[in-house]
Structure 1
Amino acid sequence: MGKVANAAVAARARAQERMAALHAERAARDQRIEDAAADVFAELDAKTAAAARRALAVEAAQRAIADAEQAEREAVAAADARIGTGVAALKGEGLTVAQIAELVTLPAADVRRLLRGPAAPAAPVESGGDLDGAA
């Protein structure tokens, strides 16, 4: 019976070694799974952060566009007011709408619109003004 007992002890030892190896393999596999899942979560977080950065950049760009459009509208309105003042000065010098239109290369309808607009002064501008830079 000693041989049977020794064989049983040896078999049990081999089984325990095999179980220990399986546990080590399972632990290593579990660690690889955990590491891979952590990598996926990190990349999902990176995607979320990238989307947030893009959204902030788009919002900033839209604000910049809106600001640029507003600045353009204000500049165009100011230029239109100055053009209206200049057209009114030309009218005050006795030029007809047709003459003004030809001189400043604007359609006559635009000249008439500018003369009706709020930029037109109530009194005619005296001759010798600074419109062309000569006194």
Structure 2
Amino acid sequence: MKKALGILAFVLVCELAGIIGSFFTAPSVPGWYAGLAKPPFNPPGWVFAPVWTILYAMMGLSAYLVYEKGPRRSEVRKALAVFAGQLLLNTLWSIVFFGAHMILGAAAVIILLWGMILASIWLFSG
């Protein structure tokens, strides 16, 4: 039961990041985002919500599995801190791109986000 609650807590924190991002995303999709030129391989709009919901759940599960290795271990704390940073950047991207309509600003955020994701992968694999 304790393990299930731990997993649930981590998943909910990650899903909360998605929910916060969606407050900025949803209002911009029908107007601003719909008017942007997009490549032919851009998925249809209905795909994003279920895919991101699953991704955030898997991110939460991954973070919990790292946490379970020992929250007092310095490498675990470091991995989770980097993970938290990438989660914040993930949310920030939605705010900058969809909320502020700043495409170049969002590009800068996503470059930082990719770096944090790669660092998270590296630290989570250790």
Question: Looking at CA atoms only, which structure, 1 or 2, has the larger radius of gyration?
Answer: 1
Same fold (TM over 0.5): no
Normalised by the size of structure 1, how large is the TM-score? 0.26
Greater length-normalized contact order (CA 8 Å, ≥ 6 residues apart): 2
